[in-house]
Amino acid sequence: MTVAEGFPKANDAYVANFGDKGSLPMPPGRHVAIVTCMDARLDPAAHLGLKEGDAHVIRNAGGIASDALRSIVVSQRLLGTREIALFHHTDCGMLTFNTPQLRTIVKDAAPGDSDIAARVDNIHFHEFSNVDEAVKKDVEWLKAHPLVLKDIPITGWVYEVETGEASRLIPRGSQRVWEASSLNPWGFTVPDPTEIMKRNLTDAFTEYVDRTSTP
């Protein structure tokens, strides 16, 4: 049995409790477009307190702004959204590969197929190596793009799949707090992980060694 074969039964249950949602207007009631990743662990409606009719949720691999542009233009120009919130997340699949690697995987699955090779060579998969920096880059890209409306709020966020917490990076909002174990490779306990982020880890380690080696 395929997954899709179970959809009709689930939909019957949904229809039974559909209520008056059929009267919702087409433009989103809260006039916001959410750009986020397609990752199956993300449920934007749940973690942002949204319900049907509130927002446009635009999803793609990585929550990449440039991939979302077509939908953003439709959302703003035809359906009246006047705010963009862009989300990336921790443990994202886009951190695990690069474009040449994925192109090779696709080509190796169809050896000798020049059409597939040519098509995949024309795709850049927009992988990234740092989630926070990717958010900043995408927000700046949106602000600079001539097809995106000017003078509207554009915020950048990171969702932590480990905790469910969403932290605003741009404009600067709640500070993201990292576990000390993710910051140092030496295995010592850091009492204040937010403070250790402000210093060079080598200096922190030297300080630790000096402190613990003193009789």
The answer to whether the annotation marks 89 as part of a ligand binding site is yes
Q: What's the sign of the alpha-carbon dihedral 131, 133, 139, 142?
A: negative
The answer to whether the annotation marks 39 as part of a ligand binding site is yes
Question: Chain centroid to CA 89: how far?
Answer: 4
The answer to whether the annotation marks 37 as part of a ligand binding site is yes
Question: Chain centroid to CA 141: how far?
Answer: 15
28 CB contacts (<8 Å, ≥6 apart)? Answer: 53, 54, 55, 56, 75, 79, 80, 81
CA angle, 59 then 4 then 162, to 5°: 45
The answer to whether the annotation marks 192 as part of a ligand binding site is no
In 3D space, the residue among 202, 99, 176, 84 whose CA is nearest the CA of residue 139 turns out to be 84
160 neighbors 41 (Cβ within 8 angstroms): no
Q: What stretch of H or E contains 100?
A: helix 99-108
- Written as six digits, the tokens of 15 are 């229809």
Measured distance CA(190)–CA(98) in Å, rounded: 33
Q: Binding site for Zn(2+), residues?
A: 37, 39, 89, 92
Q: Binding site, residues?
A: 37, 39, 89, 92
